[in-house]
Amino acid sequence: MSLNELRTELKSKANKEKAKLLQGFFKTGQGEYGEGDIFLGVVVPETRKTAIKFKDLPLNSVEELLKSKIHEERLCALLLLVHNYEQANKTDNEKTKQEIYHFYLKNTKYINNWDLVDLSCHHIIGDFLKDKDKSILYHLANSSNLWERRIAIISTAKFIQNHQFNDTIKLAEILIQDKHDLIHKAVGWMLREMGKRNNDELIKFLNKHYKSMPRTMLRYSIEKLPEKQRKQYLNGEI
């Protein structure tokens, strides 16, 4: 199966009305974070089906797909990588996992919207690093690239699943002064996920930082706490 066949299949699933809605939802207007992004209007489950169908596409073709101006083509490339990484995980194929990991890091320029990050990075970057040196995440967290900073924190979702919270906490502390709302949401989300598994760690973090956290980050992080406790943090009554 070829790259052209994959593109033809995705286009056959296009929906113009859905595409118009997505253009607005993903902020593709001038000066917005997704400026210039083009949508076909293909829903994620259908994009995933196409990715799995074309899982044997060579990496050079995947790279070409990832460089596309069409959002769903980039997403398809990433979902293909996630599928192949997870298959390699099942067979303990470290060579393939490492190849996909390095390919991902080499191409972060094209992983340039929040859904592209959120549907891929923890499955690849997070999983690969869970038992390895994690210094690359700190490098990404200090990047001028918004999406690399989001990759850094969302990748820790895999660590959180394994009850490893140290890097989530450290990266959250680095990103607590970030200016972008999409980072505030991402950090708050990961803190909330940490709290689901270890409420004490979340409370410890909040008690130390809640006064300096951006409001959106705070709201996301306390979402699962009891209402009374949420109000105390929001009103500065702790």
| pLDDT, tens digit, 9 for 90 and up, residues 130-173 | 999 999 999 999 999 999 999 999 999 999 999 999 999 999 99
Query: What pLDDT band is residue 195 in, cutting at 50, 70 and 90?
Result: very high
Mean per-residue pLDDT, 43-67: 97
Domain boundary assignment for the chain? 1-129, 154-238
**160 or 236, greater pLDDT:** 160
Query: What pLDDT band is residue 238 in, cutting at 50, 70 and 90?
Result: confident
Per-residue confidence (pLDDT) for residue 208, from 0 to 100: 96
Q: How far is CA 71 from CA 8, 54, 84, 107, in A?
A: 15, 17, 20, 15
* DSSP letters for 106-163: HTGGG--SHHHHHTTHIIIIIHHHTTS--HHHHHHHT-S-HHHHHHHHHTTHHHHHTT
Query: What pLDDT band is residue 118 in, cutting at 50, 70 and 90?
Result: very high
Tokens of 213: 């956290």
> What's the alpha-carbon Rg for the chain, to the nearest Å?
19
Whether the pTM exceeds 0.85: the reply is: yes
Number of neighbouring beta carbons within 10 Å of residue 15: 15
- Arithmetic mean of pLDDT over the chain: 96
pLDDT in tens, 72-112: 999 999 999 999 999 999 999 999 999 999 999 999 999 99
Per-residue confidence (pLDDT) for residue 127, from 0 to 100: 98
3-state secondary structure of 67: coil
Amino acid at site 36? G
Per-residue confidence (pLDDT) for residue 25, from 0 to 100: 86
Per-residue confidence (pLDDT) for residue 237, from 0 to 100: 81
